[in-house]
Structure 1
Amino acid sequence: MTKLMVLGFLIRNAMSGYEIQQIANHSGMENWANVLPGSIYHALKKLEQEGLIQIKAHEQVGNRSKAIYQITDKGKETYHQLLLQTASEVNVLFSSTFYTALLFLNDLPDEDARVAISTQQKRLEKSLEEFYHIRKQKERHLPPRGEATFAHMEAQLLSYQKLLQQVRDSLEQNS
């Protein structure tokens, strides 16, 4: 995903790694695209080695020099292929670690299980708050496909919230 994201930004404008990282941070990409801000610089180096991007210029910022990257023709071709491949494949993620924990949840004392589920619910609430904050910031600038994406993400989060509540209710019934 990092490769696709970096190429996607650079196909629009030449920019520095810092600028890409700021966009990623501002949009909350680590939450929905599984792109960690720290991976951007690693991706830039690798993409440059592969000839997919190149340094357009160096800008002096105080005592530091920052590289401004631009996409190459080879990078545009690769971006198109990668985007087509990614948009064509089915990639539904299941929380295998959480589902496995649910399978064996009865092995925990009820109070420990309630605490674990409550902790999950609190984390999910925080994720929902962050999601709604980001969505509100972006809603005026979203194309129709962007709105559909946000609606789907919301449905997934709410579905997960419902699952956690069902598990918690079953734990309460057992006590």
Structure 2
Amino acid sequence: MIMSSTRLLILGVLHDETLNGYEIRRRLELWGADQWANVAFGSIYHGLTKMSQEGLLEIVEKGRGGSTVYGITDIGRQEFQRLLAEAWWRVKPVIDPFQAALTFMNHMPKEQLLSALGSRSAQLRSLLAMCEPAIEGKVQYGAPRHITECVRLNMARTRAELDWIEDAIPRIEKDELP
């Protein structure tokens, strides 16, 4: 079965309590999962339906506040443990569309490439500047401390890209790249 971050997150959130789809979405939003796990919040509802059909989740209550409350089944707990172990033990590449674009940097005029990298550098710096307050906010509003480690890891990856850009710009200016 294919590893899905959304699937792992839904099962994990429901591991210790029953919640409705909106409550799951709010929890993942609080954690910032859309940023570090590429969760499309609309996919949560589809995932809940699909995992219920697969027997990983059960409907605990239908209609509480107009929504369905879900709980994890024993099969769901086994799947959660399998996905969790797979995520910890198996290294997979981080998929980034920028790397696909980087492959074709030789098709951009030098000035456009430098301008794009300058803009990207500024965006990355801005993102990093927002991350520290976001970490404090997550702690302040009740996100588990280990959730902030997801943001810290994302920051390290962002810094690595920024370091690469800062190294690449002078090489492009000297016509050493592409």
TM norm structure 1: 0.82
CA pair 103-84 structure 1, distance change in 2 beyond 3 A = closer
Q: Is the 2:19–2:71 Cα contact (8 Å) retained in structure 1?
A: yes
Listed one character per residue, the Cα deviations across residues 46-82 of structure 1 (whole Å, up to 9, x for unaligned) are 0000011111113443xxx111111111111211122
Distance 1:107 1:77 in 2: 48
* AA matched with 1:168: I
Cα distance, 1:94 vs structure 2: 5.6
Q: Which amino acid in structure 1 is aligned with residue 13 of structure 2?
A: F
- Measured in 2, the distance between the counterparts of 1:60 and 1:94 equals 38
Match for residue 24 of structure 1?
A: 28
Secondary structure of the corresponding residue to residue 70 of structure 1: strand
Q: Higher mean Cα deviation, 24-33 or 130-139?
A: 130-139
Q: Are the aligned partners of 2:36 and 2:150 in contact in 1 as well (CA < 8 Å)?
A: no
Q: Which has the higher contact order (CA 8 A, sep 6+)?
A: 2
Counterparts of 2:131 and 2:139, CA distance in 1:
12
Look up the SS of the partner of 2:68 in the other structure: strand
Structure 1: gaps of 5 or more residues: none
Corresponding residue of 2:131: 131
**Structure 1: which amino acid aligns with 2:167?**
Q
Structure with the larger helix share: 1
How far residue 27 of structure 1 moved from its aligned partner, in angstroms, is: 1.8
- 2:131 is aligned with what amino acid? F
Contact 2:57 2:71 in 1 (8 A): yes
- Paired with 2:64 and 2:150, the residues of 1 have a C-alpha distance of 38
1:11 maps onto 2:15 in alignment:
yes
Asked if structure 2 preserves the Cα contact closer than 8 Å seen for 1:4 and 1:83, the reply is yes
Question: Please, what TM-score do these two structures have when normalized by structure 2?
Answer: 0.80
Letter in 2 for 1:40: I
* Aligned twin of 1:171: 172
- Percent identity between matched residues is 28
Q: Quick one: structure 1 residues 79 and 19, their matched pair in 2 at CA, closer, same or farther if it must change by over 3 Å?
A: same
User: Does the aligned pair in 2 maintain the 1:59–1:66 contact within 8 Å?
Assistant: yes
Is 1:49 aligned with 2:50? no
- For residues 136-151 of structure 1, the aligned pairs below 5 Å read 136-139=136-139, 141-143=144-146, 149-151=150-152
User: Offset of 1:83 from its aligned partner?
Assistant: 1.2
Measured on the aligned residues, the alpha-carbon RMSD in Å equals 2.4
Q: What does 1:27-106 correspond to in 2, within 5 Å? A: 27-61=31-65, 65-93=66-94, 95=96, 97-106=97-106
Length, aligned pairs only: 168
- Name the SS for the 1:69 alignment partner: strand
Tell which deviates more after alignment, 65-74 or 146-155.
146-155
Could you say if the C-alpha distance between residues 92 and 107 of structure 1 is closer, same or farther in structure 2, counting changes exceeding 3 Å? closer
